[in-house]
Amino acid sequence: MRPEDLVHFCAPGRLIIGCGARRELPALLERLGYRRGVVVTDSYFVNNTPWVRELVDASRALGIRYFVFDGGEPDPTTTLCNEATASVLRALDGQMPDHVIALGGGSNIDLAKALCLTLPRGRPVQDFIGDLAGCKPLPLIALPTTSGTGSEATPGAILLDPDNATKVAVMDNALRPLLALVDPEFTYTCPPRVTADAGIDALTHAIESFVTLDSALYERGSCVDPGYSGRSSLTMMFARESMRLCAAWLERAYTRGDDTQARIGMSYASIYAALSYGSAGLNAGHGIAYAIAGQTHKSHGSTNAVILPYVIDALRDVRFPELLEVARIFGITEPDGYAAVRRLPVELRALVARLGIPTDLRSFGIEEASRDALLRDALGVARLAKAFPVADIAAAYEGIIDNAWRGSLAGDHELSIV
């Protein structure tokens, strides 16, 4: 809260959180005047849960009709999006929907976001990469089933470009969902692997946005409606609470998926993290993780997890007060703050291991010969690199990748001296 701060906080149009809240959706949509929609989901939800059928039946009774597209896949590609556009348009036979509902994890939500752009125009999604000023997508209602990506609150859809194995983003504040409905019961069926990968993604969002560039320093160019614009006391408030919830419930949700309190805790952790990073933005963790995903094709959450401790380690001087706060949230009680901050990445790495994820890049499948390409690709995600709050970003990325490849943290040496 300084004179130079400029808070640009963006969120979904409405946010509803509650166990069983999904049952209120048809009546709410009817009240809002929606009559014809497309549900974007995947076969798991159609075949193994009652949620799609319940939504369609209760809506039909209120005069709202749906076409269900259940061809969603993990990490959707631009090809999948273009095929889905063609097949949904064929099925709609010229009758444009007035809204889209996404049911699923970040993958289905991202696919639905992209369809909100492509369906009304019938154009390939690649046409929408870049400036979307003035573009009016269909309204999106996002029902997340993982805790999570937070895509239900963010301005972006992340798609894999199969031509060069990188992730591309379609991004604009207009893509933020009209409504995010977080029903923790949706997450009760998540298997442990999905729970862990999504949960560490939420924690990475919270920590990374807590230590990212200040809003006053964020490079916005001439954009008056930035999707991401640096951290502020407002975003940090959500990040702090998200970290507290992750520290309390992440491991429990992974080891005891039937613990409803843990599931609810992680549902809140995920949306709070999204309310932080969805305006503050992210930096090196996600930037390097995208490059790791390009080489390994492993899940989004696990690529974040393997690099997170090393990114935090690189910030221990420049973000000392913030990381001391994080260390205390994670129960690190050493009275010496310097020691506590060096211990934090060590504890985070131990958490990553307990979640069943490799803790160094070598065991994650990165070849030594590929490290230069990894550095180049990570720095290539310029919107994330420029938000890393250090003087020499390229040197910092190189050091992080080097340490992550060897599995080396500053706190390791300290512990071995002790």
Ligand X SMILES: NC(=O)c1ccc[n+]([C@@H]2O[C@H](COP(=O)([O-])OP(=O)(O)OC[C@H]3O[C@@H](n4cnc5c(N)ncnc54)[C@H](O)[C@@H]3O)[C@@H](O)[C@H]2O)c1
Binding site for ligand X (CB under 6 A): 42, 44, 74-75, 104-108, 110, 145-146, 148-151, 154, 156-158, 186-187, 189-190, 194, 197-198, 201, 300-301
| CA pair distance 323, 277, nearest whole angstrom | 17
- What letters, b where the CB count within 10 A reaches 16 and e where it falls short, cover 282-321? bbbbbbbbbbbbbbbebbbbbbbbbbbbbbbbbbbeebee
User: Closest CB to ligand X among 197 and 208?
Assistant: 197
Minimum Å gap between C-beta 264 and ligand X is 14
Sign of the torsion angle spanned by Cα atoms 301, 304, 307, 309: negative
User: Closest CB to ligand X among 108 and 235?
Assistant: 108
User: Closest CB to ligand X among 151 and 209?
Assistant: 151
User: Closest CB to ligand X among 13 and 63?
Assistant: 13
User: Closest CB to ligand X among 144 and 345?
Assistant: 144
Residue/partner pairs of 21-26 with CB below 8 Å, 24 or more apart: 21/181, 21/182, 21/183, 22/51, 22/54, 22/55, 22/143, 22/181, 22/183, 22/185, 22/186, 23/54, 23/58, 25/55, 25/141, 25/143, 25/181, 26/55, 26/58, 26/59, 26/61, 26/62, 26/64
What would the 3-class secondary structure string for 202-224 be? HHHHHHHHHCCCECCCCCCCCCC
Minimum Å gap between C-beta 327 and ligand X is 25
Minimum Å gap between C-beta 299 and ligand X is 7
Nearest to 316 by CA among 348, 292, 268: 348
Minimum Å gap between C-beta 4 and ligand X is 28
Minimum Å gap between C-beta 210 and ligand X is 17
User: Closest CB to ligand X among 189 and 296?
Assistant: 189
Residue type, 20: G
Minimum Å gap between C-beta 113 and ligand X is 7
Q: Which helix (H) or strand (E) holds 170?
A: strand 166-171
Minimum Å gap between C-beta 7 and ligand X is 20
**Burial label, 376 (beta-carbon count in 10 A; 0-12, 13-18, 19+):** exposed
User: Closest CB to ligand X among 125 and 327?
Assistant: 125
Minimum Å gap between C-beta 146 and ligand X is 4
